[in-house]
Amino acid sequence: MTSADVHVEEAGTAGPLILCLHGIGSSSAAFAAQLAGLSGVARVVAWDAPGYGRSADPAQPLDLDAYADAAAAVIRERDRSAHVIGVSWGGVIAMRLALRHPDLVDSLVVADSSFGSGSDPDRAAAMRSRAARLAEDGPRAFAEQRAPRLLSPDAPADLVQTAVDTMAAAIRLPGYGWSTESMAATDLGPELPGIDVPVLVLCGEHDTVTGVDAAQAIAGALRRGVFVILAGAGHLANQEQPDAFNDWVRAHLRITALIPETA
């Protein structure tokens, strides 16, 4: 599919390009706080992944390489390269993008992510089972059951409802099934030393989905990785603690994109 088939939200008119890639149960709506909070220092683009939200359904199944290639097309349409923020599944896509298209990636922010579910047979099987559950339950019931787990125990009720609503509006078959298969088939662990750009690895302290150990493992496998725990956040750290998340991204950009110290 082409970049014209991919819906994006954009904010900001100057500065480096940032591409935001959402998690497996989400959409561009997950990055509302980054579109608002980072647009003063960068041009921020958040996608609905192929087969999600307002993006078209692909004509054929996509694997992780195909998602990375779709993200590459979004970058090429706008600039020569980008700083890429990936949350959860989006982080796995972002790392594959850096490996597959190194000329397009200036740096990475990988949040609440993993090597991919293929690094553990039980996780892979659980990931593959999700599509059948979505088909059985439908998007709303599926989201009501899953989304609250993505936030910390102290998350406010309105944020929990926003996470449920975002997931319910974003996911559908066949796209969700293809994305879960892309995760189940992937173990990036052996490949991560090949990423040669600065990577900020963030993880919410209360993330029970991928977790602090997985984030530490990512940072440890990278040549230029920095690891930060975000206090008071669960798996959706960029939504639950947006100010702290954005502050860390700005600090990362001061080093990697040379944005002003006052930004």
Would you kindly state where each structural domain of the chain is located, as residue ranges? 3-256
Rg of the chain (C-alpha set): 17
Is there a contact between 7 and 37 (Cβ–Cβ < 8 Å)? no
Q: What is the mean pLDDT of the chain?
A: 97
Q: Tell me the per-residue pLDDT of 152-168, one tens digit each, with 9 for 90 and over.
A: 999 999 999 999 999 99
Write down the pTM of the prediction: 0.97
Give the CATH H-level superfamily of domain 3-256.
Answer: Alpha/Beta hydrolase fold, catalytic domain (3.40.50.1820)
Tell me the average pLDDT across 13-35: 98
Q: Which of 112, 113, 116, 123 is nearest to 205 (CA)?
A: 112
Query: How many beta carbons lie within 10 A of that of residue 243, not counting itself?
Result: 9
Q: Tell me the per-residue pLDDT of 186-206, one tens digit each, with 9 for 90 and over.
A: 999 999 999 999 999 999 999
At 261 the pLDDT is 75
Above 70 in pLDDT, residue 3? no
